[in-house]
Chain A
């Protein structure tokens, strides 16, 4: 079984809809991250969490919110989806500062 899982893997939705992307991990890591990937722009950090009570905005947090329900779960929400949020979204985990990150398989989101 994969250590970092994401659901759904693909989603097509309409402008204005609320969408939640979920991430679960079995690695026992405290640190979890949400990134989006757009062609030519690499991975950009949306939100990150160093433990259940610690959530921080990344460089592109506008239009997104997160919830850290447990050490193993970190959800990303789009309150009112817009077309420019169409992207590939990755969840990742790490053990401590400077450690490598382990990525989930990605969620491809299309907002029409």
Chain B
């Protein structure tokens, strides 16, 4: 696609429900990232995928969070038993590695998650 696509753009869910957030990276981009951005805050790293390697899950805040990337392309971030503190904008980004250098990351427009 022309850019990184995320869906849904907005999600309102009840506390305790599970949610799935989807990210379609730019075709051919081997690196994919998920970040969480709370209101007025920075970009909190969640997870990083690179090709077929095992993902770096070091940023996932709890075992309620999980993510997968199928076929080296589309990624899904799942939050189980959502809590109010999970409310934030979830951003996905992808980039290309050329000659060992990770080039600019392209961000999607994010999914705004509100837990009520």
Whether chain B is bound by chain A comes out as no
Query: B-side interface residues toward A, CB under 8 Å?
Result: none
Query: A-side interface residues toward B, CB under 8 Å?
Result: none
